[in-house]
Chain A
Amino acid sequence: MTRLAGAFEKSHPALVAFVTAGDGPTRAILDALVAGGADVIELGMPFTDPMADGPAIQAANLRSLGAGTTTADILLIAKGFRGRHPDVPLVLMGYANPMLRRGADWFAHAAADAGVDGVICVDVPPEEDDALGPALRAARIDLIRLATPTTDVARLPTVLDGASGFIYYVSVAGITGLQQAQQASIDDAVARLKAATTLPVAVGFGIRTPDQAAAVARVADGVVVGSAIVELVGQHGADAPAAVTAYIKSLADAVASARKVTA
C-alpha cells in the first residue's frame, strides 16, 4: 500500500494540510503540521503567476520567491521531510511551468528521489496529460486530479482516467481561500464522485474553521486546508510553528470526531 493510500485507510477522514515551500521556516512548519495531526502534507511550489490562487497564497508565493526559494530548495525540503517522517505522505502542488522547466522526466525523477508521493498540477488538465502524466506514472508518483463544480457527469470519466492517489474536489468555482461552498452542494458532489470512482475524495477551497472541517469530514474521505494555514505563517513568520500546531490540532480533533455517519 502506498503512503497516500494508507493515509485514507485510517479510522478517521484524512486532514490534508497545505503550506507554501520557502515561506517562513518551512521545515519547522511541516513538523508542526504533523505534530498537530495532519495526515497528508501538500507542499506548495511557489510560482510568479499563481492564477488559481487567492490573495493569501499569492502573497505566500511572493514572500517565498522574494526570499530566493528555488526548485532545488523545495526538493531538499521534501527530502528532509521524508527523512524525518518516513510514513507521512507528501504531495507537491503547483503550476506547470516550474514543474516542466527542466523536462517532465527530470521533475518526476527528482520528486521521486526526494520521497514525494503525489503531484497536483493546477494547470495541466486531462486534455494535456501528455505533458506530465506519463513521466509521473513512470516514476510511480500519483497524479492527483482536480474535480470542480463545473466538472459535469459527462466530463467526469475524462478527469478520472489516469487519476490516482485521491481526487481533490475543489468545492468552489473560484480561487483559493475566499468563500466556502454550501454544505449541501459539497454533499451532492462528493456522492457523485464516490459513485464514479473508488479513489478517496478530499474536499478543499474555503475551509478554515473546525466546524466547517467537521461538516465536510462527515461526507468526504479528506479535508484540505490551505489558505488559513498560509495566513498564520504570514502573520507569525518565524514563530509560526507553534500557532500552526495549535490550529491543526483543532482541525484534526474536529475531523476525527466527525466520523462518518453510515446510513
Chain B
Amino acid sequence: MTAPPSFPPNSFKAQPDDRGHFGDYGGRYVAETLMPLVLDLDRAYRAAKADPAFQAQFDDLLEHYVGRPSPLYYAERLTESLRQSAPKTMGAQIWFKRDELNHTGAHKINNCIGQILLAMRMGKTRIIAETGAGQHGVATATVCARFGLPCVIYMGARDIERQAPNVFRMKLLGAEVRQVTSGAHTLKDAMNEGMRDWVANVHDTFYIIGTAAGPHPYPEMVRDFQSVIGTEARAQMLARTGRLPDLLVAAIGGGSNAIGLFHPFLDDPDVAMLGVEAAGHGLDKEHAASLAGGFPGVLHGNKTYLLQDDDGQITEAHSISAGLDYPGIGPEHAWLKDIGRVEYDSATDTEALDAFQLLCRTEGIIPALEPSHAIAAVTRRARDMREDQIILANLCGRGDKDIFTVAEALGVEI
C-alpha cells in the first residue's frame, strides 16, 4: 500500500476517481448520518497513506506478526497430475501464493492490520465487523486483542450454527459475537447490522469491513492493504523464474484476495487474470455468482453487480463456502469485468470439493473451500495452456475451518 505514483493516462491502476467511482461502480451510497464519517475516513486514509511512519508500522506487523512475505510455491505434483490428461507439451506450471500460511490462516489479516492502525490513528476506541464464515471475524478479533480494543462481531444466526469453531475462536480472543436474526440471518444481514451499529455509534466506533466493498474509501483501502499479496508475488516470481506469470487465478466472494493479487499486475499487458465466483448448485440454480448472474445495483454503500430480482430486492446467495456466500462483489471487479481486463468464471460446490481433495492428495495442502474454487478453475485451464506457461493462483486460506463442512458433503461422520 505505497502511495501511488502518477499513473499514465491509460493505466488500469488509476481507479477509483476522487469520489470513489470505478467507472460506473463504487461510490458512497450511505445514509446522511454516515456520510460525514465516510468523508472523514477518506481524509484520514489519504493522510495515513502518505505517512511513511504508518507504512513502516504496517510493514513491520505484516512481517513479524502475520508472517509475511508468504511463500511462492511451485506445485509440482499437481502440475504433473493435470499434465497426465493433457495433450503432449500442454499443461501449464501451477504456482501458489501461500497466503493460507498467514497468522489466522487466511489473507483477511492483512486488511485487518491496516484498518486497525487507521482506527487508532483516528482516535477510535471501539471496533465492529461483520463476518460470514468467521474468517474476517477471527482476524478482526485477533487484531483487537493485539491492540487491546473492544470488539463486536456481527454474525448471522445461520452462520453461527455452521461455523461453531470460529465463533469459539472469536470468543477466546475476547470479542463479543452478536447473533443476527434479521433478514435471512446470513452475511448480508450481518453487514446491515454492522452499518446500523455504526450509524448509532459514529463518535467512537470504527467499522472494519472485511472485503473490498462498501462505501468509498473501503474498496480502495482494502485493495491497497491486500495488494501486498500481488506485490510480493510479482517480485517473487521474477526472482524465481525471471518472468511474469501468464495467468493469475483467484476466488471471488467480495473479491479482496483477488484484487490484492491482481492489482499490482493490472498494467502488465501479458498477464491474463481470472476471477472465480461460486456457482453453488449451478448458475441456473442457487449460487453466489454476482457477476455471472446478477445486475448492477446499490447495496451496502456501493454500486456493483448484485443478485437481485426484477424489483431490486436482494436475493439469497448460496455456496458451500460461507466465505463466498454474498450476493454482491467489490466494485472494482464490476469495472474490471465491464472493461474486459479481467475474465470471470465460476466453479460449483461439487467442482470445488473435487479440487479441495485433489490438492490435499497431490500437494499435502488442505485448502479452504474459497480457494478450492480457484483451484477448480486452474484444473480446467492448465490443460489448455502450454507446459512452459505459468499459472499463479492465490491460496488465500487454509481448510482447517472447513473440514466439518467437507466431511458432511462427502457423507463422512467425524
Given contacts A49-B192, A100-B312, contact A125 B28 (CB under 8 A): yes
Are A98 and B32 touching (Cβ within 8 A)? no
Q: In chain B between 27 and 67, which residues have their CB closer than 8 angstroms to a CB of chain A? A: 27-37
Cα A173 to Cα B199 with chains together (Å): 6
Are B310 and A128 touching (Cβ within 8 A)? no
In the complex, which of the residues B32, B37, B196, B312 contacts A146, with contact meaning CB atoms closer than 8 Å?
A: B32
CB-defined interface of A198-219 with B at 8 Å, one 1/0 digit per residue? Answer: 0000000000000000000000
Find chain A residues with CB under 8 A from B196 CB.
51-52, 54, 174-175
Cα A146 to Cα B300 with chains together (Å): 18
The reply on B200 being an interface residue by CB < 8 A is: yes
In the complex, which of the residues A47, A150, A174 contacts B36, with contact meaning CB atoms closer than 8 Å?
A: A150
The reply on B85 being an interface residue by CB < 8 A is: no
Are B29 and A124 touching (Cβ within 8 A)? yes
Tell me the minimal C-beta distance from B35 to chain A in angstroms.
5
Tell me the minimal C-beta distance from A66 to chain B in angstroms.
11
Are A101 and B311 touching (Cβ within 8 A)? yes
Tell me the minimal C-beta distance from B217 to chain A in angstroms.
13
Given contacts A51-B195, A125-B28, A128-B27, contact A101 B33 (CB under 8 A): no
Which of A111-119, A151-159, A235-243, A248-256 sits within the interface? A151-159
Are B313 and A98 touching (Cβ within 8 A)? yes
Are B31 and A97 touching (Cβ within 8 A)? no
Cα A175 to Cα B197 with chains together (Å): 9
The reply on B19 being an interface residue by CB < 8 A is: yes
Cα A204 to Cα B312 with chains together (Å): 27
Instruction: Say what secondary structure dominates the interface of chain A.
Output: loop
- What size tier do the contact residues of chain B reach? 35 or more
The reply on A161 being an interface residue by CB < 8 A is: no
Are B36 and A100 touching (Cβ within 8 A)? no
Instruction: Output the residue of B37, B182, B297, B298 with the most chain A CB within 10 A.
Output: B298
Given contacts A51-B192, A52-B199, A173-B200, contact A159 B32 (CB under 8 A): yes
Cα A150 to Cα B314 with chains together (Å): 29
The reply on B136 being an interface residue by CB < 8 A is: no
Q: Which residue of B lies closest to A95 (CB)?
A: B298
Cα A58 to Cα B180 with chains together (Å): 13
Find chain B residues with CB under 8 A from A52 CB.
31, 33, 196, 199
Q: Which residue of B lies closest to A147 (CB)?
A: B32
Given contacts A71-B311, A128-B28, A159-B32, contact A48 B183 (CB under 8 A): yes
Interface residues of B (CB under 8 A from A): 19, 27-37, 182-183, 188-189, 192, 195-196, 199-200, 202, 295, 297-301, 303, 306, 308, 310-314
Interface residues of A (CB under 8 A from B): 47-52, 54-55, 58, 62, 65, 70-71, 95-101, 122-125, 127-128, 131, 145-152, 155, 159, 170, 173-175, 178
